Amino acid sequence: MLVASHPTPVVPAPEAAASPIAPSGSKVKVLPINLKYIQYHHGLETQYLPGIRALIAKDLSEPYSIYVYRYFLYQWPHLCFLALNEEDESLVGVVICKLEIHSSRSAPTRRGYIAMLAVESTYRGHGIATSLVKQAIGVMADRNADEIVLETEETNKPAIQLYERLGFFRSKKLHRYYLNGNSAYRLVLLLKSVDPDRMFVDDADSTSERFVRNNVI
């Protein structure tokens, strides 16, 4: 399929990506490169999809098929953001999401889903993951999302702390959720008034979501 090329929008980095002011006597971790954040589009597949797969695969115990990536990137390219080294445009971080109508026992909602989040290990601890997630949340909120959900391994404390700082809460524990037998927490961010009871009883997630995880900060 041929896709017409078009300019890649450069997204201003959120304020959270700026260097923090450290307390007296502490050291500030200075990011050794200049970053830019861009919104993915289909014209970037050849250049960046191999790098996206490699970056995410570094932290996974089960590799994803290219079709898993294309499932998200073909349907929701506007919900994927890349953090790039401004000098050589190499990939530093990525977040991949989707937004669709979710039906359950109560009224349908517009549910955002953060499927994958990864940052190159060399550059972790500089707020890049937070910036990427904020980009995604902002777009999903602009598109009238009611809520945003994700799953992450219960042992992944950095990821859990990142999301809780952004307002997510643990809605339930999912025992032996992943193929490797590890359990997960489902984390939820409410953007609108949503029936809280549904958050704890709804397990009707598609299999395309079930083994996607947030590994990495």
Task: Read off the pLDDT of residues 41-82 as tens digits, 9 standing for 90 and up.
Answer: 999 999 999 999 999 999 876 678 999 999 999 999 999 999
Tens of pLDDT, residues 172-217? 999 998 888 899 999 999 998 655 555 443 544 443 444 455 655 5
Cβ(137)–Cβ(143) under 8 Å?
no
Q: Which of 146, 154, 112, 116 is nearest to 132 (CA)?
A: 116
| Dist. CA 168–CA 161, nearest whole Å | 9
- Classified as helix, coil or strand, 86 is coil
Q: How much is the mean pLDDT over the chain?
A: 82
Which residue, chain included where needed, has tokens 């490797």? 180
Distances 3 to 10, 42, 45, 97 between C-alpha atoms, Å: 20, 7, 10, 21
Q: Tell me if 166 sits within 8 A of 189, measured CB to CB.
A: yes
105-164 pLDDT per residue, tens: 678 899 999 999 999 999 999 999 999 999 999 999 999 999 999 999 999 999 999 999
Locate tokens 């910036």: which residue?
A: 131
Question: What gap in Å lies between CA 53 and CA 69, rounded to an integer?
Answer: 8
**pTM attached to this predicted model:** 0.80
Residue-range domains of the chain with CATH: 34-210 (3.40.630.30)
